[in-house]
């Protein structure tokens, strides 16, 4: 009993010790667009820290992003603004950027830091689509005002340059690390983590985080996305999702054209399922998705029905329109590359033309199987034929009842000129020379 109590005491002491004394610097690295996968990665790490350590840990997000989804950005920024754990967003390494959505995360951090040779800004929401009408202009204005108000609220809470932060959204301004520091959009510049942690120690009192006083002495733990999260991040890229969708539909179309090929169908099915996952986490236009599916239906019908290219043309038009309208996001980083759309469209046209040529050749080729395949074949009379009485001929390895308008003796060569039910109509070969 005593040993059991000692064991429980040691166990609870270990747990309590973990909660009270597990101080560290957690570095989370993210490179790429801000998507729901980013939310899962960052917030999972932050929730674990908040639950176990509160303000006994420094959370550093090493960021390099071209932008991303505004809703995902809002979710992360909201967590930053309400976090008890001090959040440091560090735009690094040199050459990295915190553009568009990344600018919001940089401003939402307790401490905003940039490495030399980095840049931030360009957070203006860009509308997607063609010509602007009155309704689209009003919608654009609403999006701009909402986004501007959001960045003003963040900058005010973090005591940064509210007016300039708003201009980053409304005028799409961008800044180098030195310009951002000079204009009070970030707190300082650090070339590496040692310099960053030393600077945190100097600012411990002004930043009101006691843990910053011993920042350089704390153990550092680097966390990166899991293999699965990296994979999901890759396929959640709009260009990859679009490529998988096109490959999936093409593979299934080829399988329908050539049943039993197996490989195109298997690859196409896997690619299509992966694309559906990718599209489920992206802001898509379902009408555009329907247009793309309709395009491949037209392509499949072109294979089965000879429309002399009309169905194929309709498919190309439907595919291009659907591709251009597919992603509903104002962030350029989340748009499908026009070059990729053009390349896949050209590839589909080439494949479609190739299949149509093959089909036309098959349809214009003389029939060589079945009853119709007998026409033009030569054979031998094995029972005499008269205009009044049918005879028999040996043609194409088979014996057929035969009729003719002429009398043909046994042993003569004949050619089949028509098929009438189970009989063939023949003419003497000699008379046709």
For 369-382, the pLDDT digits (tens) are 556 667 888 889 89
How buried is residue 430: exposed, middle or buried, by Cβ count under 10 Å (0-12/13-18/19+)? exposed
Tokens of 58: 């420094």
Q: Among residues 225, 252, 286, which one ends one of the domains?
A: 225
* Count of other CB atoms within 10 angstroms of residue 100: 31
pLDDT digits (tens, 9 = 90+) for 190-228: 999 999 999 999 988 888 788 898 888 999 999 999 898
170 within a domain of the structure (yes/no)? yes
Task: Quote the number of domains for the chain.
Answer: 3
Read off the DSSP letter of residue 203: T
Residues 73 and 19 in one domain: yes
Residues 99 and 14 in one domain: yes
In the prediction, which pLDDT does 203 show?
87
Q: Is the pLDDT of residue 19 over 50?
A: no
Q: Among residues 178, 200, 225, which one ends one of the domains?
A: 225
Angle at 181 between CA 177 and CA 186, to 5 degrees: 90
Residues 169 and 74 in one domain: yes
232 within a domain of the structure (yes/no)? no
231 within a domain of the structure (yes/no)? no
Query: Has this prediction a pTM greater than 0.75?
Result: no
In the prediction, which pLDDT does 418 show?
86
Residues 276 and 188 in one domain: no
Residues 204 and 301 in one domain: no
Give the whole-angstrom CA distance, residue 89 versus residue 106.
6
Among residues 329, 325, 100, 344, the alpha carbon closest in space to that of 240 is found at: 344
Residues 154 and 61 in one domain: yes
Residue matched to tokens 């300039």:
164
Q: Is the pLDDT of residue 330 over 70?
A: no
Q: Is the pLDDT of residue 100 over 70?
A: yes
Mean pLDDT is highest, among 1-10, 143-152, 359-368, for 143-152
On whether the CB atoms of residues 316 and 348 are closer than 8 A, the answer is yes
Which positions ≥6 away from 58 have C-beta within 8 Å? 24, 25, 26, 85, 86, 88, 200, 209, 211, 212, 215, 218
Read off the DSSP letter of residue 399: E
Q: Which CATH number covers residue 31? A: 3.90.226.10
In the prediction, which pLDDT does 191 show?
94
In the prediction, which pLDDT does 306 show?
66
pLDDT band at 364 (very low <50, low <70, confident <90, very high): low
Give the whole-angstrom CA distance, residue 232 versus residue 235.
5
Q: Is the pLDDT of residue 53 over 70?
A: no
Residues 136 and 217 in one domain: yes
Residue predicted with more confidence, 291 or 124: 291
On whether the CB atoms of residues 95 and 61 are closer than 8 A, the answer is no
Q: Is the pLDDT of residue 130 over 70?
A: no
Residues 269 and 353 in one domain: yes
On whether the CB atoms of residues 45 and 25 are closer than 8 A, the answer is no
Residues 145 and 257 in one domain: no
Stretch among 66-75, 204-213, 257-266, 424-433 having the lowest mean pLDDT: 424-433
pLDDT band at 61 (very low <50, low <70, confident <90, very high): very high
Residues 406 and 428 in one domain: yes
What are the angstrom distances between the C-alpha of 200 and each of 14, 66, 194, 196, 203? 30, 27, 10, 6, 5
Rg from Cα positions in the chain: 36
Residues 13 and 103 in one domain: yes
112 within a domain of the structure (yes/no)? yes
Q: Among residues 345, 364, 383, which one ends one of the domains?
A: 364
Read off the DSSP letter of residue 93: S
In the prediction, which pLDDT does 159 show?
93
Distance in angstroms between the alpha carbons of the first and the last residue of the chain? 116
b/e map 141-160, b = 16+ CB within 10 Å: eeebeebbebbebbbeebeb
């Amino acid at each position: 009993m005593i040993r059991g109590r000692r064991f429980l005491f040691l166990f609870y002491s270990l747990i309590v010790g973990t909660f009270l004394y597990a101080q560290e610097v957690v570095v989370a690295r993210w490179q790429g667009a801000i998507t729901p996968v980013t939310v899962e990665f960052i917030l999972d790490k932050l929730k674990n820290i908040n639950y176990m350590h509160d303000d006994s840990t420094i959370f550093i997000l090493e960021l390099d992003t071209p932008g991303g989804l505004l809703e995902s950005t809002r979710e992360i920024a909201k967590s930053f603004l309400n976090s008890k754990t001090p959040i440091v967003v560090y735009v690094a390494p040199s050459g990295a950027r915190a553009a568009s959505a990344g600018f919001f995360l940089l401003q939402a951090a307790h401490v905003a830091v940039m490495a030399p040779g980095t840049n931030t800004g360009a957070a203006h929401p860009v509308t997607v689509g063609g010509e602007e009408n009155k309704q689209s202009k009003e919608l654009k204005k609403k999006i701009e005002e909402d986004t501007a108000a959001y960045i003003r609220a963040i900058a005010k809470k973090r005591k940064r340059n509210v007016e300039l932060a708003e201009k980053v959204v409304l005028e799409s301004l961008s800044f180098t690390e030195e310009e951002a520091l000079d204009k009070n959009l970030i707190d300082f510049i650090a070339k590496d983590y040692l310099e960053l942690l030393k600077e945190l120690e100097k600012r411990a009192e002004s930043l009101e985080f006691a843990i910053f006083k011993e920042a350089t002495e704390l153990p550092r733990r680097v966390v990166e996305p899991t293999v699965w999260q990296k994979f999901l991040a890759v396929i959640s890229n709009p260009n990859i999702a679009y490529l998988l969708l096109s490959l999936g539909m093409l593979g299934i179309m080829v399988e329908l054209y050539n049943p039993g090929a197996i490989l195109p169908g298997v690859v196409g099915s896997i690619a299509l399922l992966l694309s559906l996952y990718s599209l489920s986490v992206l802001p898509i236009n379902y009408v555009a998705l329907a247009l793309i599916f309709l395009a491949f239906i037209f392509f499949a019908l072109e294979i089965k029905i000879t429309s002399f290219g009309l169905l194929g043309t309709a498919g190309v038009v439907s595919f291009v329109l659907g591709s251009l309208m597919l992603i509903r996001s104002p962030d350029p980083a989340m748009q499908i590359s026009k070059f990729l759309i053009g390349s896949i469209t050209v590839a589909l046209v080439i494949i479609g033309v190739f299949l149509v040529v093959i089909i036309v050749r098959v349809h214009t080729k003389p029939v060589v199987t079945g009853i119709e395949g007998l026409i033009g074949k030569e054979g031998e009379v094995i029972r005499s034929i008269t205009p009044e009485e049918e005879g028999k001929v040996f043609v194409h390895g088979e014996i057929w009842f035969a009729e003719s308008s002429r009398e043909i003796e046994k042993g003569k060569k004949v050619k089949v000129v028509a098929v009438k039910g189970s009989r063939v109509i023949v003419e003497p070969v000699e008379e046709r020379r």
